[in-house]
Amino acid sequence: QQQVKQSPQSLIVQKGGIPIINCAYENTAFDYFPWYQQFPGKGPALLIAIRPDVSEKKEGRFTISFNKSAKQFSLHIMDSQPGDSATYFCAASIGGAQKLVFGQGTRLTINP
């Protein structure tokens, strides 16, 4: 049973466009929602994270939007660049717990 559901599986966007990746969760005990970026042959790296007491968090060109009532959160990439082409994972955890639950991943391609 996938506790965090991510969509779409793959996404192709032109340079400068705004790709949006969505995640939904069921467990209301989750209280920390990070996004990871993974390039081929590398391990995931933390991109940005949010707690449910805020509805939006922005770091550079990356923005997380959070809808607590709908139990959904999304990643937006402004002014996307070919270098943003990677696989993106959303995740969730409870407090400072050791266990991260990941979404299925989205392979993003930014065409020049």
* DSSP-assigned letter for residue 68: T
Nearer of residues 17 and 102 to another protein, judged by Cβ:
102
Restricting to residues 29-88, name those near another protein by CB under 8 A. Answer: 32, 34, 41-46, 49
Decide the pairing of beta strands 106-111 and 10-14: parallel
Residue pair 38/89 in contact (Cβ under 8 Å)? The answer is yes
Q: Which is nearer to another protein, 18 or 97 (by Cβ)?
A: 97
Cβ closest to another protein, residue 18 vs residue 45? 45
Tell me how far CA of residue 79 lies from CA of 49, 90, 91, 109, in angstroms: 20, 20, 24, 13
Half-sphere exposure of 5 (CA within 13 A, CB side): 8
Q: Which of 22, 65, 105, 109 binds another protein (CB under 8 A)?
A: 105
Near another protein by CB under 8 A, which window of 11-19, 57-65, 68-76, 91-99? 91-99
* Residues contributing to the site for another protein (CB under 8 A): 2, 4, 6, 9, 32, 34, 41-46, 49, 89, 91, 93, 95-105
